[in-house]
Amino acid sequence: MSALSTAPFCSVSRLNGLLRDLRAGLGQQMFFWGKDVVHPSGNLFAGQGFTKSPSRGLQGTSCYGVEWQDGSIQLHGSCAGWYPRGGGEGFIYIRPLHGCFVWRGEEIPVPGEWESAQSAGADPMKIRELALPFLDWWLHSETWIRETCGSSYRAACFRHFKRLPKSRPWLPPADGLRWLRAFRESPEKVERVNRFVR
């Protein structure tokens, strides 16, 4: 899969709906990533080559980073994204703002300091284009998780998430990955999550 590619025509209103679905999926996925940090066999991010560093923003939190497609993936408790090497436009999901944004800046974001993302606008075509390296990593990472831990691990994460009092379950893990692949490859064809069936 290439990092940045032009999608076949997809209307802005349709793409906005799909990005809402993506945001909901990321809300669930961030819970999964939290479980990966405390996996009984050890931190699963370390097994994927991530390095851990203290967060420059929120106290007592950490950041996990790994080089990926001419940039880096950075995961925090409050945001996740892909940022190009040397600065420029990247992709960020900000959990407290419940949104996906374009990130503009020379440095990776500091959790809680979201001005760059909020001022970059919300062009859905641009957001989807910049999300492609992040989606590629997400799919790659979940393949690694399945091969390392078995499919029952993510199924257990999903069951745990569904039991949380204020959770909003998205798709089950296998269906979620099928939806992500379809959104990544054919946004003009993929069904909205509420109509996405096996």
pLDDT at 79 over 90: yes
82 within some domain: yes
Q: Is 170 helix (H, G, I), strand (E, B) or coil?
A: coil
What are 84's two structure tokens?
């190009």
pLDDT tens per residue across span 145-182:
999 999 999 999 999 999 999 899 999 999 999 999 99
Q: Which domain holds residue 35?
A: 12-187
Q: How far apart are the first and last CA of the chain?
A: 23
> Closest Cα partner for 167 from 155, 158, 177?
158
Q: What is the count of structural domains for the chain?
A: 1
Q: How many alpha carbons fall within 13 Å on the CB side of residue 36?
A: 24
Least confident span in 42-56, 82-96, 117-131, 165-179 = 117-131
143 within some domain: yes
- The mean pLDDT of 58-66, rounded to a whole number, is 80
- The mean pLDDT of 44-53, rounded to a whole number, is 95
- The mean pLDDT of 24-33, rounded to a whole number, is 97
- Residue 7 backbone dihedrals phi, psi, to 5 degrees: -80, 150
Least confident span in 10-14, 49-53, 111-115, 164-168 = 111-115
Q: Is 169 helix (H, G, I), strand (E, B) or coil?
A: coil
pLDDT tens per residue across span 97-145:
999 999 987 788 888 887 767 666 678 999 999 999 999 999 999 999 9
176 within some domain: yes
197 within some domain: no
Which amino acid type is present at position 159? R
All residues at 6 or more sequence positions from 190 whose CB lies less than 8 Å from its CB, including other chains: 18, 179, 182, 183, 196
Strand partners, 86: none
> Closest Cα partner for 100 from 134, 151, 69, 149?
134
The pLDDT of residue 59 is 63
Cα separation of 141 and 108, whole Å? 21
Cα separation of 107 and 88, whole Å? 9
136 within some domain: yes
Single pTM value for the model: 0.91
All residues at 6 or more sequence positions from 2 whose CB lies less than 8 Å from its CB, including other chains: 132
6 within some domain: no
> 197: buried, middle or exposed (CB in 10 Å: 19+, 13-18, 0-12)?
exposed
196 within some domain: no
DSSP string, 148-190: HH-HHHHHHHHHHHHHSTT----S-HHHHHHHHHHHHH-TTTP
